[in-house]
Amino acid sequence: MARYLVRRLAFLAVSLALASVVLFVLLRMLPGDPANALTSVGAGPEQIAAARRAIGSDRPLPEQFTHWIGQLASGDLGTSFVSSLPVGPEVAARLDVTVPLTLAAFVLAVLVAVPAGFTAAYKRHTWYGALLSGVSQLGIAIPVFWLGMILIAVFALNAGWLPSGGFPQDGWAEPAEAIRSLVLPVVTIALVMSASLIRYVRSATLDVLGSDYLRTARALGSSFGGAMRRHGLRNASVPVISVLGIELASTLLGAVVVESVYALPGLGSMLATGIAQHDYPVIQGVLFVSTLAVLVIGFVADLAQRIIDPRLRGRLSGGSR
Amino acid sequence: MSTKKNVLYGTATVAALALALTACGGSGGTSASGGTWDKDAVVNIGSLYEPQNLDNTAGGGQGVTEALNGNVYEGLFRLTDDGEVEKLLAQDYETSADGLTYTFTLRDGVKFHSGKELTSEDVKYSLEKVLADDSQSARKSNLEVVKDIATPDKRTVKITLSKKSISFVYNLSYVWIINSQAKDLKTTEDGTGPYALNKWTRGSALSLNRFAGYWGDAAANKQVVFHYYKDASALNNALLTNAVDVVTSEQSPDALEQFKSNGTYKVNDGDSTTKLLLAFNDKAKPFTDVKVRQAVSAAIDDKKLLESVWGGYGKQIGSMVPPTDPWYEDLTDVNAHDVTKAKKLLSEAGYAKGFSFTLDTPNYDPHPTAATFIKSQLAKVGITVKINTITPDEWYTKVYKNHDFSATLQEHVNDRDLVWYGNPDFYWGYDNPQVTQWVEQAEEASSTADQTELLKKVNRQTAEDAASDWLYLYPQIVVANNKLSGYPLNGLNSQFFAYDIKKKG
């Protein structure tokens, strides 16, 4: 196990390093000049040159890269070109919104999807089993922003129960208000996420229901519930966990849309602003932190699968996954 | 958002108590309409323009002007919402006979939010900050005529110019007077305005509190909070749910109906200074020919375009000059919509069968809509338009810097920017030595009357030359809850004075 952990951590570090190179190079390949965002209409060539000097975008790329990596190594995410404010503290402040939003949505989605997916599989011949499948199918087709707009129209504009958007200026200093402003965004993400999760849970459960070992266990006198608990759930959870990891990661990255619909000051909206302004340090900072989070989520998901399913241990330590 | 609601309820209760207590004394505030208003109200303002940082010489952007100009920072002069320049921190000033030396006397008893008294040193420091090498101030180039700044005593500033500049005082209205000892101006402030910064939460909100030590009339409300939105519909929803009381600048005409039909809100139609231009490259064929430019201008029905983009809002404009500029004249009749005339001009110019050109179109609203409209209008006179959609960044490089275009669409936001037609090197390449001379003479004029007269000539000449086609003037639509009064309507150059806003309890 220790050898596996070391191997995985090394893999994580290498992935992160590779990702940072790709990130850096891809950003520089985008058309446009960050100095444009810094100079107003009427700026002369010398003002533009001064802007480039000020942000260091006139220096050779390798030098810019080593500078960035050097900063990263000392835990500094750099300084925004546009605002000339440090990126790190802002990322941290934005995580206060994005992390609770993503985790709450994830937990809610799992709480809905696991029983619903199981029911959809086990009761697939009943009307409500079919309904669950149908609804989840429909849920996948719904765009997040559209669902968000519907929820706002119903619960904020008409009923007036919840705010239509925004986040308290004092953040979590007023927990009740902060939570109130996250309810609709969390529900929006959770609904969309659970729709696809239900399908995965359903198919994983169907696999198990049709398996030989379950039939064998039943033949040996186990009750259905007992057989499911002892053998079924464990087997069904292995593929589901890897899907959960992917879902969580994609929600983190996909928060842009929800944060924009609900005017939340999260990481996603920070990224969107950064991209619009060619603010490389901001884009790099946000994407680096997101990449790190995605890699860690993948690592935890793998670890969880390994713990649940002993058969995977041999394969994983080979480093093939 | 409901945080603010709670604060509101709280202050409303306090206000009700205060009113009850002061009823005998009769010192409750009274609005022009006779209703009472809450002197300790919190006014929530919704905006799409978040500051990048809080320093307007370090790329703070239009958001920092909106929130801090006049509210937190003051200049020697103020540009009022009607476009007038009035004295603010300058109590008085004198101009030397040759027009090169300005002597300003500062208002007495002005304090910065930090408590320090305003002195001439602070004025010198503030002006030097705008003129510094690393300054990103949009007004830097206008103020480069400043040759010397002297401070003979604490309340006197003597500024010498290298050449006469009639706009100097006007340009000073853009210079914030900052405490020369202030630090960290990107995240904090030290101005003399009626409000002091309370808190700025990036990506979310910026709040200002009434400054107790203000030299002038105290703000009509206790606190203003600017709430920032990326998305216009999120902003409108905030107004509908009372999370904000007023929207500084409505950008989506489709959303107006829900406010117009609702008695709770007032939709105000002010004058902006933003012009939508079909800018020709006057140095590239066929737009080198004045007849071609006139023909294109006459072929496009600006009224119909304005109607389709903004409904009943906005104004037709026949030149670069908005009504709030001192040299405004209604020139919509010059090159007015006239298809027959357009066809005639085209055949005179040798393009009886029309021609085709590429229209570089920024990819954000309303440019694509306008481009499609122009394409169909010009097709009627035989001109084929190829729409080339580009990002703002590409526009800046291709059109603005490299002048590599035939015609383009762009919005020009500032007031008094007619003078760009006096610069033959500007991106649109309009080159009329007479106009250049008038613009220079206007800047060196001895009186504003002379300046106005010369710029009126420039105005008419550029219009007759169809230097560009000025499609329309954007409306400045402020939508507010009826509880509010006293907010600015025109929002010149994105400023939004909040200190007169009164809110009913």
DSSP A239-289: HHHHHHHHHHHHHHHTHHHHHHHTT--SHHHHHHHHHHTT-HHHHHHHHHH
Residue B225's DSSP bridge partners are B44, B207
SS3 B225: strand
Tell me whether residues A260 and B238 touch, CB distance under 8 A. Answer: no
**Model ipTM value:** 0.82
Structure-token match 């853009």, residue found: B174
From chain B, pick out residues whose CB is under 8 angstroms from the CB of A168: 1, 3
From chain A, pick out residues whose CB is under 8 angstroms from the CB of B234: 164-165, 260-263
| The pLDDT value given to residue B494 | 80
| The pLDDT value given to residue A319 | 43
Q: How many CB pairs under 8 A join A and B?
A: 130
Type of residue at B301: D
From chain A, pick out residues whose CB is under 8 angstroms from the CB of B396: 33, 36
Helix (H) or strand (E) holding B157: strand B156-161
Residue-wise DSSP of B273-286: EEEEEEEE-TTSTT
Instruction: Report d(CA B59, CA A193) in Å as an integer.
Output: 40
Tell me whether residues A180 and B2 touch, CB distance under 8 A. Answer: yes
| The pLDDT value given to residue B170 | 92
| The pLDDT value given to residue A246 | 84
Tell me whether residues A169 and B201 touch, CB distance under 8 A. Answer: yes
Instruction: Report d(CA A261, CA A148) in Å as an integer.
Output: 7
Give the nearest partner residue to A82 out of B59, B229, B412, using CB atoms: B59
Helices B302-310/B367-379 angle, 10° precision: 150
Residue in chain A lying closest to B238 (CA) = A164
pTM for the full predicted model:
0.83
A168 to chain B, minimum CA–CA distance in Å?
A: 6
DSSP class of residue B69 equals B
From chain A, pick out residues whose CB is under 8 angstroms from the CB of B229: 165-166, 263
| The pLDDT value given to residue A313 | 67
Type of residue at B294: Q
From chain B, pick out residues whose CB is under 8 angstroms from the CB of A265: 201-204
| The pLDDT value given to residue A25 | 87
From chain B, pick out residues whose CB is under 8 angstroms from the CB of A169: 3, 199, 201, 204-205, 207, 225
Residue B207's DSSP bridge partners are B199, B225
Type of residue at B106: L
Would you call B396 an interface residue with chain A, using a CB distance cutoff of 8 Å?
yes
Cβ B466 vs Cβ B335: under 8 Å: yes
Which residues numbered 128-187 in B keep a CB inside 8 Å of some CB on A?
133-134, 136, 138, 140-141, 186-187
Instruction: Report d(CA B334, CA B302) in Å as an integer.
Output: 13
A101 to chain B, minimum CA–CA distance in Å?
A: 16
Cβ B410 vs Cβ B364: under 8 Å: no
CA angle B239, B240, B242 (to 5 degrees): 65
Residue in chain B lying closest to A89 (CA) = B202
Residue in chain B lying closest to A256 (CA) = B230
Residue in chain A lying closest to B236 (CA) = A164
Q: pLDDT of chain B along its 505 residues, tens only?
A: 333 333 333 333 333 333 333 333 333 344 444 468 899 999 999 998 888 889 988 877 788 999 999 999 999 999 998 888 999 999 999 999 999 999 999 999 999 999 999 999 999 999 999 998 878 787 788 899 999 999 999 999 999 999 999 999 999 999 999 999 998 898 899 999 999 999 998 889 999 999 999 999 999 999 999 999 888 888 999 999 999 999 998 877 778 888 988 889 999 988 888 899 999 999 998 999 999 999 999 999 999 999 988 887 899 999 999 988 999 999 999 999 999 999 999 999 999 999 999 999 998 888 999 999 999 999 999 999 999 999 877 888 889 888 999 999 998 888 888 999 999 999 999 999 999 999 999 999 988 999 999 999 999 999 999 999 999 999 999 999 999 999 999 877 788 999 999 999 7
- Tell me the mean pLDDT in the region A226-238: 78
Tell me whether residues A165 and B238 touch, CB distance under 8 A. Answer: yes
Tell me whether residues B400 and A44 touch, CB distance under 8 A. Answer: no
pLDDT tens for A56-105 read: 888 888 888 888 888 888 888 888 888 888 999 999 999 999 999 999 99
Q: Are strands B407-412 and B265-280 parallel, antiparallel or unpaired?
A: antiparallel
Q: Measuring CA to CA, which residue among A220, A196, A213 is closest to residue A136? A: A196
Would you call B33 an interface residue with chain A, using a CB distance cutoff of 8 Å?
no
B425 burial via Cβ count (<10 Å: 0-12, 13-18, 19+): exposed
B274 to chain A, minimum CA–CA distance in Å?
A: 14
Task: Tell me how many helices (H) and strands (E) chain B has.
Answer: 14, 18
Q: Which residues contact B9 (CB under 8 A, 6 or more apart)?
A: none
From chain B, pick out residues whose CB is under 8 angstroms from the CB of A36: 393, 396-397
SS3 B414: coil
Helix (H) or strand (E) holding B501: none
From chain A, pick out residues whose CB is under 8 angstroms from the CB of B391: 31-32
**Residue A145: pLDDT band by 50, 70, 90 thresholds?**
confident
A69 to chain B, minimum CA–CA distance in Å?
A: 25
From chain B, pick out residues whose CB is under 8 angstroms from the CB of A262: 234
| The pLDDT value given to residue B16 | 39
B353 to chain A, minimum CA–CA distance in Å?
A: 37
Q: Which residues contact A234 (CB under 8 A, 6 or more apart)?
A: A308, A309
From chain A, pick out residues whose CB is under 8 angstroms from the CB of B231: 260-261, 263
Give the nearest partner residue to A164 out of B134, B140, B243, using CB atoms: B243
Give the nearest partner residue to A177 out of B2, B141, B393, using CB atoms: B2
Residue of A27, A41, A57, A188 to mutate, testing the B interface (most B Cβ within 10 Å of its Cβ): A41
From chain A, pick out residues whose CB is under 8 angstroms from the CB of B133: 50
Residue in chain B lying closest to A80 (CA) = B52
| The pLDDT value given to residue B3 | 35
Q: Measuring CA to CA, which residue among B197, B168, B170, B167 is closest to residue B182? A: B197
Structure-model confidence comparison of residues B208 and A256, the more confident one = B208
Cβ B6 vs Cβ B44: under 8 Å: no
- Tell me the mean pLDDT in the region A188-201: 89
pLDDT at A118 over 50: yes
| The pLDDT value given to residue A170 | 87
Structure-token match 């949009």, residue found: B138
pLDDT at A233 over 80: no
| The pLDDT value given to residue B342 | 95
Q: Which residues contact A238 (CB under 8 A, 6 or more apart)?
A: A305, A308, A309, A312
Would you call B431 an interface residue with chain A, using a CB distance cutoff of 8 Å?
no
- Look over chain A and give the mean of its residue pLDDT values, rounded to a whole number: 84
Q: Which residues contact B13 (CB under 8 A, 6 or more apart)?
A: none
Instruction: Report d(CA A236, CA A190) in Å as an integer.
Output: 21
A155 to chain B, minimum CA–CA distance in Å?
A: 11
Residue in chain A lying closest to B400 (CA) = A41
Give the nearest partner residue to A163 out of B1, B58, B138, using CB atoms: B1
Would you call B233 an interface residue with chain A, using a CB distance cutoff of 8 Å?
yes
**Residue A43: pLDDT band by 50, 70, 90 thresholds?**
low
Tell me whether residues A51 and B207 touch, CB distance under 8 A. Answer: no
From chain A, pick out residues whose CB is under 8 angstroms from the CB of B204: 166-167, 169, 265
Q: Are strands B356-362 and B195-201 parallel, antiparallel or unpaired?
A: unpaired
Cβ A256 vs Cβ A270: under 8 Å: no
| The pLDDT value given to residue A98 | 92
Residue-wise DSSP of A26-58: HHHHSSS-HHHHHS-TT--HHHHHHHHHHHTTT
| The pLDDT value given to residue B18 | 38
Residue of B141, B254, B396 to mutate, testing the A interface (most A Cβ within 10 Å of its Cβ): B396
